[in-house]
């Protein structure tokens, strides 16, 4: 069931990125669509975060013999 967490995370990210585009024409909402460079930086940060998590998990398993 590992796919559930990944699917829920992906859905949350997609929803968060889509909200400014979906509601941008409603006057009561004051969402701003971010510039394209923001999404590049966001992708880089998320990839680096995923790598850091995997390395930390591997280090923990190597040191303690098993994952939590």
pLDDT in tens, the chain (68 residues): 567 877 888 898 899 888 888 888 888 888 788 899 999 998 899 889 889 988 998 999 999 988 77
- CA nearest neighbour of 20 among 10, 12, 30, 11: 30
**pTM, rounded to two decimals:** 0.63
């Amino acid at each position: 069931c590992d796919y559930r967490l990944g699917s829920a995370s992906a859905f949350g990210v997609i929803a968060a990125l889509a909200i400014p585009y979906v509601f941008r024409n409603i006057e009561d909402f004051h969402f701003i669509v971010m510039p394209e460079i923001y999404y590049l930086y966001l992708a880089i940060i998320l990839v680096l975060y995923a790598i850091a998590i995997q390395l930390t998990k591997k280090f923990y398993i190597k040191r303690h013999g098993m994952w939590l």
